[in-house]
């Protein structure tokens, strides 16, 4: 197991280096000159070239690449071309926002999806099942940004109970933090909830047909114990895989809610940077997102082993 973990970590580092290199090259391959765009309609060609020199973007590509890698080794992700701030600072500000939002969206999704999925599976083809199915399709059909805008109009403009935009760090108090995140988390979480609920339902239905479930019922176990202790545990394996992917996707997928609710998270930072061709931000942000994905994968794989003792990697 230990050797397995070490191997996984080394492989993860390799993946991250590959991602970093790929992003470095891709950003430079797409058209659009960041310096020219930054100078915009301000300076003449001489100014553009001066700014390029000052940023070290006039050097040959291999030199730029090696410099960037060397800085990376020192934990320095460089400075933004546009706003001149260190990328590490920008990420330090953006990450807590995105993590808060992703976690809360995830909680919203799971707390809606699991009960709904279980009820649907246990009471298949009942009124409850049909209602939940329709709700799930609705949840999937409504685009996040539209849900967000509607939520703002209902809860901020008409009821005036929740703020329409912005973010407050946890340090300003639990309620300020939470109240700013409820609407974006619901807007982002509902579509994931729909997917997770459908997954839970089908996985559980499959497991409920298994022999050991019949055996458990034959032993006279309460139905609750059968479902929660025996069936659900096995049914959750594919669901947890999806949850892991969902949580990682939420980190990047929260960008829509971040935009609607004016929360400056990682997603927004990245999209802006790509549009502006702000190389250092794009490189640093994708690297961090890749690291999170890789860690997620690792955690999910280890969770399998915890949930199902039969799963062991050799």
**Nearest Cα to Cα of residue 61 among 38, 84, 17, 28:** 28
Q: Does 18 bind another protein (CB under 8 A)?
A: no
- In the bound state with another protein, the residue whose beta carbon lies nearer, of 105 and 276, is 276
- Choose one: 32-40, 106-114, 116-124, 172-180; the region binding another protein (CB under 8 A): 32-40
- Shortest Å distance, C-beta 57 to another protein: 12
Q: Does 266 bind another protein (CB under 8 A)?
A: no
Please check whether residue 194 is in contact with residue 110, taking contact to mean a CB–CB distance below 8 angstroms: no
Give ∠ CA 141-119-248 in degrees, rounded to 5: 50
Determine which residue in the list 90, 116, 287, 296 makes contact with another protein, applying CB under 8 A: 90
Q: Taking CB under 8 A as the rule, which mask of x and - marks residues 43-82 in contact with another protein? A: xx-xx--xx--x------------------------x--x
3-class SS letters over 245-313:
HHHHHHHHHCHHHHHHCCCCCHHHHHHHHHHHCCHHHHHHHHHHHHHHHHHHHHHHHHHHHHHCCCCCC
Helices (H), the chain: 2-29, 34-39, 45-55, 61-73, 87-122, 127-141, 144-151, 174-208, 211-218, 223-225, 232-253, 255-260, 266-276, 279-307
Determine which residue in the list 56, 115, 143, 166 makes contact with another protein, applying CB under 8 A: 166
Q: Does 153 bind another protein (CB under 8 A)?
A: yes
- Choose one: 39-47, 224-232, 240-248, 292-300; the region binding another protein (CB under 8 A): 39-47
Please check whether residue 111 is in contact with residue 243, taking contact to mean a CB–CB distance below 8 angstroms: no
- Shortest Å distance, C-beta 79 to another protein: 7
Q: Does 230 bind another protein (CB under 8 A)?
A: no
- Shortest Å distance, C-beta 221 to another protein: 52
Count residues near another protein (CB under 8 A). 49
Binding region for another protein (CB under 8 A): 31-34, 36-44, 46-47, 50-51, 54, 79, 82-86, 90, 93, 149, 152-153, 156-157, 160, 163-167, 259-264, 268-269, 272, 275-277
């Amino acid at each position: 197991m230990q050797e397995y973990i070490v191997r996984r970590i080394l492989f993860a580092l390799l993946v991250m280096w590959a991602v970093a290199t790929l992003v470095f090259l891709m950003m430079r391959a797409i058209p659009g000159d960041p310096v020219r765009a930054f100078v915009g309609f301000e300076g003449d060609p001489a100014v553009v070239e001066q700014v390029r020199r000052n940023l070290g973007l006039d050097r040959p590509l291999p030199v730029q690449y090696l410099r960037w890698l060397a800085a990376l080794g020192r934990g320095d992700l460089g400075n933004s071309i546009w706003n001149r701030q260190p990328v590490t600072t920008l990420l330090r500000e953006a990450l807590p926002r995105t993590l808060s939002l992703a976690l809360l969206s995830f909680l919203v999704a799971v707390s809606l999806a699991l009960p709904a999925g279980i009820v649907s599976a246990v009471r298949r083809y009942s009124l409850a099942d049909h209602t939940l199915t329709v709700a799930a399709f609705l949840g999937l059909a409504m685009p996040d940004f539209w849900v967000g805008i509607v939520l703002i109009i209902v809860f901020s403009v008409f009821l005036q109970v929740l703020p329409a935009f912005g973010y407050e760090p946890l340090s300003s108090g639990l309620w300020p933090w939470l109240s700013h995140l409820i609407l974006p988390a619901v807007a982002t979480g509902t579509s994931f909830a729909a997917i997770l609920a459908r997954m839970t339902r089908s996985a559980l239905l499959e497991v409920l047909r298994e022999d050991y479930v019949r055996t458990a019922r034959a032993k006279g176990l309460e139905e609750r114990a059968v479902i929660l202790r025996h069936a659900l545990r096995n049914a959750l394996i594919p669901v947890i895989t999806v949850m892991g992917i969902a949580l990682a996707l939420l980190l990047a997928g929260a960008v829509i809610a971040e935009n609607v609710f004016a929360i400056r998270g990682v997603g927004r930072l990245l999209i802006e940077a790509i549009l502006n061709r702000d190389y250092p931000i794009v490189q640093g942000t994708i690297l961090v997102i890749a690291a999170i994905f890789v860690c997620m994968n690792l955690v999910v794989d280890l969770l399998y082993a915890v949930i199902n003792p039969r799963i062991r990697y050799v």
